[in-house]
Structure 1
Amino acid sequence: MLSAQTVANRLIELARKEGKAFTPLQLQKLVYLAHAWTLGLDHKPLITNRIEAWQYGPVIPDMYDQLRRYKAEPVKQLIPAMSEHIKPRQEDIIKEIYKTYGDLTGGQLVSLTHKKGTPWSEVFNNGAGQWDIIPDDLIQRHYEEKLAKNNQ
C-alpha cells in the first residue's frame, strides 16, 4: 500500500507533463477514485490513509491538512511524502484514473462521488455521518458492483 500523498504526487507529475495542474479538491477525489477502483479491481487497498465523509465528498484528512493552503488554487508543489515505490499495477491504475477522470473539474468530481448509492452517500447520510470513516469494505463492494454491471 501507498500513502495518499504518494498517489497524489504521481497524479501531479502526470498533469505537469501535459502542462496541467490540479486543485486540492481534484486531488482528493482522484486519489479516492484510484483507491476505490483498486479495491474493486484487485480487492485490496491502494492507500493506507483513512477516508472520511465530508460535505464535499470523500476526504483524506491528513492530505487535506497538507493542501489547505492552496484553497481552490492549483497545487504547485509535490506534497511531502515518504519515498515509496509504486508497483507496476498501482502505476497502471493511477494512470487510468488520470486518463479517465483527470479532465473533470472539482465540481464534476464531487458530483461523481456524491451520487445516490455511493459509499460517501451511504456514510454521510444527509449530514448525520459527517466526518465518519468510509470503510474500505463498503468502497470495495460498491466498485465491485460497478464492475459487474459494466461487464454484463
Structure 2
Amino acid sequence: MTMEDLAHHIIGIAQEKNLPITNLQLQKVMFFSLKDAIVNHRFSESALMRIYDKPFLVWRYGPVEKDIYDEYRIYGADPIIEPNKSNSDFESLNEKIISLLEEDPFELVQQSHDVTF
C-alpha cells in the first residue's frame, strides 16, 4: 500500500459511485483520508508508514503529493477519466472517501488550510 495505491483506490471509488473527481479534489481526498486513518487508527503505524511513502507539499490550494499531481495534471480542472479500481486494502476508508467526494472541492481546500493534527 502506497500513496499511489491510495490515489488509484480513491479514483476507483469515485468511478464506482459515478462521482467526478479532479486532480485538485483527489489531492484533498487523499490528505483527509489519511488524516482520518491516523485519527481513527484505521491502520497500524507500520501500514501508515508504508502508505505515506511520499510527503504532501504545501501549495497554494492545500496539500499536494507531487508525483500523483504530475500523473493527473493532464486533466487540468476536468474530471479524471482513466479507469482505476478500488483496492480492498483501503476499504476502511471508503465511507470517508465517499463523503469527501460529495463535498465542494474548494471547501476542502479551505479546510486543508485550517487543519491541525
Aligning the two structures, in what range does the TM-score lie when normalised by the shorter sequence?
0.7 to 0.9
* Unpaired runs of at least 5, structure 2: none
Distance 1:25 1:65 in 2: 11
Q: For 2:101 and 2:61, locate their aligned partners in 1 and report how far apart those are by CA, in whole Å.
A: 18
Residue 113 (structure 2) aligns with: 114
- Report the counterpart of residue 23 of structure 1 in structure 2: 22
The 3-state SS of whatever aligns with 2:40 is helix
Equivalent AA in structure 1 for residue 33 of structure 2: A
> Aligned-pair distance for 1:20?
1.9
SS of residue matched to 1:74: coil
Tell me which residue corresponds to 2:82. Answer: 77
Matched, 1:36 2:35: yes
Contact kept in structure 1, 2:13 and 2:98, CA below 8 Å: no
Report the aligned-residue RMSD.
1.9
TM-score (norm 2): 0.81
Q: Deviations over 1:99-120 (max 9, x none)?
A: 32111122111011112xx24x
CA contact (8 A) 2:19 2:101 kept: no
Moved over 4 A (4+): none
- Matched residues, number: 109
1:50 matched to 2:49? The reply is no
Deviations 1:83-141 (A, max 9, x none): xx653xx3212x022232111122111011112xx24xxxxxxxxxxxxxxxxxxxxxx
Instruction: Classify 1:64/1:100 alpha carbon distance in 2 versus 1 (closer, same or farther; 3 Å).
Output: same
Larger Rg: 1
| Residue identity (%) | 24
The TM-score, its normalising length taken from structure 1, stands at: 0.64
Structure 1 alignment gaps of length 5 or more: 80-84, 120-141, 143-152
**Cα-to-partner distance string for 1:33-72 (whole Å, 9 max, x where unaligned):** 1111112222632432211111110110111111111110
